[in-house]
Amino acid sequence: MAWLYLNGEIIEDKDAAISVDDRGFLLGDGLFETMRAYGGRVFRLNAHLARLRESAEFLRISCDLTDADVGEAISELLERNACPDAYVRLTLTRGPLEKGLRLDGSGRPTVLIRVRPFSPHPDELYKRGARLVLSSVRRNSASDLPRHKTLNYLPCLLAKQGAVDAGAFGAVMLNEYGQVAEESLSNLFIVREGRLATPPVHCGLLPGITRAVVMELAGANDVPCDERVLSPADLFGADECFLTNTLMEIMPVRSLDRRPVGGGKPGPLTVRLQGLYRKAVGR
């Protein structure tokens, strides 16, 4: 038996029902957030909800969820499902199709929150680093959509599948100019001569919450960090490279298209940032 939150109520999953007219289902007309709970509390809940709200405003999906309401619902779910260390997903859709295809914000949005026990990647992967490939799936930097975590995830999934088919962990997605945007499901950083660098959002990427935390930690610890345009050559020439996302935190990269990146193993600044991130989670 599992408990979930649907439209203001905590119910058992077997009792949950979403309209067959829901625009999230029919049109991918919705947003989601993936969060991580540690010891019964979500890390950076407010930042996740701020990103969701900003995107909801852009897409004109009504969203009157308060941080307090969502926080309370998640706490109750973590408790009832007895999983304090959890993957937490909030899905928000425009709700049932009511007014043709307009982006109308006056309908009844659907809000679903689910929690699942968290299962981490193997330690071995963190120790050795992830293998990446360059994807042929492009990010469109002229589009607003990569900046929002919409339900249209197929470009990311196609890129990720390309990596899996090639025996790799992840796929670096370039934009239409051949500049690095992000990995299929995470943001990307390099280290070069002691400086961190990550592509700016206008390159066509999701402004990750973990990316922001890493930039904040760098600032607080006198590590210079630039948002700058990166080319694949910058990745091949990097001293270190790592990926960030909420679930995996900071994942070192060991190779790109089978060529070693950095020393082909986690670099010292990557390891230091992993420690700083863990400390921030602990606080």
Residue numbers of the site for ligand PMP (CB under 6 A)? 34, 149, 156, 182, 185-187, 206, 208-211, 244-246
C-alpha gyration radius of the chain: 19
3-class state of residue 117 by DSSP = strand
**In this structure, what token pair is assigned to residue 253?**
């990269």
**Cβ-based nearer residue to ligand PMP, 29 or 182:** 182
**Cβ-based nearer residue to ligand PMP, 96 or 244:** 244
* Residue 35 C-beta: closest distance to ligand PMP, Å: 8
**In this structure, what token pair is assigned to residue 223?**
């590590």
H/E stretch holding 141: none
* Residue 156 C-beta: closest distance to ligand PMP, Å: 5
**Cβ-based nearer residue to ligand PMP, 93 or 135:** 135
Nearest to 137 by CA among 120, 125, 153: 153
Q: What angle do CA 240, 126, 266 make, to 5 degrees?
A: 25
Q: What are phi and psi of 41, to 5 degrees?
A: -130, 140
Q: What are phi and psi of 66, to 5 degrees?
A: -95, 155
**Cβ-based nearer residue to ligand PMP, 38 or 260:** 38
* Residue 3 C-beta: closest distance to ligand PMP, Å: 24
Contact predicate 132/183, CB 8 Å = yes
H/E stretch holding 192: strand 187-192
* Residue 19 C-beta: closest distance to ligand PMP, Å: 26
- Which neighbouring-strand residues pair with 180? 174
**Cβ-based nearer residue to ligand PMP, 4 or 52:** 52
* Residue 140 C-beta: closest distance to ligand PMP, Å: 13
3-class state of residue 243 by DSSP = strand
> For ligand PMP, which residue has the nearest CB?
208
Residue 206, CB-side half-sphere exposure with 13 Å CA sphere? 28
* Residue 49 C-beta: closest distance to ligand PMP, Å: 12
**Cβ-based nearer residue to ligand PMP, 110 or 184:** 184
Contact predicate 223/192, CB 8 Å = no
**Cβ-based nearer residue to ligand PMP, 114 or 149:** 149
Q: What angle do CA 50, 137, 134 make, to 5 degrees?
A: 100
* Residue 186 C-beta: closest distance to ligand PMP, Å: 5
As a dihedral over the C-alpha atoms of residue 76, residue 78, residue 81, residue 84, rounded to 10 degrees, the angle is -150
* Residue 106 C-beta: closest distance to ligand PMP, Å: 29
**Cβ-based nearer residue to ligand PMP, 3 or 74:** 74
